[in-house]
Chain A
């Protein structure tokens, strides 16, 4: 049986430190949210935004019809947006995207949320207006998608 001297132990510790320290440093820095200025790109967030955009525009086009015929679809879409907002809020350094979703969802604003509110209040909306409003809402969603695409891959 060989005896381990204090000199050997010191050498072993030094060798281990040489290997482990950089690894721990890499893992630590990679996982540090505080090092980021903005959230990393998230595939789920991007895909969800695209799906909600498509779902929203399909529904907005029906806003020339009575609201009562589409009330359930509106409720379902609003629930999906709430869920998306919750997801976006729990992402690290994601304040700008959260603000974007809040603008889009705001029932007192002038994007999707505001249009759905008007539809509910007025029963149905003019086709010329709906066509123009849908174009604007589409561009609003494009901003969310554009910001997500610009984020660095983690």
Chain B
């Protein structure tokens, strides 16, 4: 295990804690999604860490990029919360269709 990988160990659990504290609705689903998102961005973070240690990236810039990833995780969580609500809308629309169809069949047989 590289030094960088070792330093980032345990961050997934922290992400889960932060996300669960930030969302009251769908907290479990969002936390699980955020962790999976972190796994997707892990490679970028490790590359930036190397660039930082090699002097290709300034400390402030590295910090900014890490926080940009954090904003990315928040944005991704909002997208997924929205996708869940959109699914709910599709279900509701189907239920309304069924109700309307039944009303029509009773009133205009």
Contacts and interface: CB of A to CB of B under 8 A. Distances in A.
A37 B86 contact: yes
Contacts, number: 113
The size class of the interface chain A forms with chain B is: 35 or more
A38 interface: yes
Contacts of B104: 22
Contact of B83 (A21, A100, A150): A150
B9 to A, nearest CB: 23
A36 B71 contact: no
The secondary structure that dominates the A interface is helix
A78 interface: no
A143 B107 CA distance: 45
B56 A36 contact: no
A152 B89 contact: yes
Contacts of A22: 100, 103-104, 107-108
Contacts of A99: 78
B15 interface: no
Interface of A: 18-19, 21-22, 25-26, 29, 35-38, 96-97, 99-100, 103-104, 109-111, 114-115, 118, 125-126, 128-129, 132-133, 136-137, 139-140, 143-144, 146-147, 150-152
